[in-house]
Amino acid sequence: MTAAQQRRAQRAVHLIAALVLVAYVYAPLEARLQDAVRFVVLPLLVVTGIAMWQAPRIRRLRKSVTRTRAVTAPGTER
């Protein structure tokens, strides 16, 4: 998945979760749906927001970890 595709997917999930949260605030929901919003949608909204905000840092960290693993291949430790 390219970086652009990843950003697009994160934005879509983030916007859908935000719309569900707006519906939760402005419209009465059943008890089961309220729990879903509290325990699924709200954390999802937070995680996607942080992921979009810190995407460059996360990408650099993943690249450095991948390089480190490539340099120290299994079985080559001393």
pTM of the model: 0.66
Assess if residue 56 is contained within a domain.
yes
Summarised one tens digit per residue, pLDDT across range 46-70 is: 998 998 899 889 888 888 888 887 7
What is the 3-state secondary structure of the chain?
A: CCHHHHHHHHHHHHHHHHHHHHHHHHCCCCHHHHHHHHHHHHHHHHHHHHHHHCHHHHHHHHHHHHHHHHHCCCCCCC
Domain count, the chain: 1
Assess if residue 78 is contained within a domain.
no
| Domain hosting residue 55, numbered range | 3-68
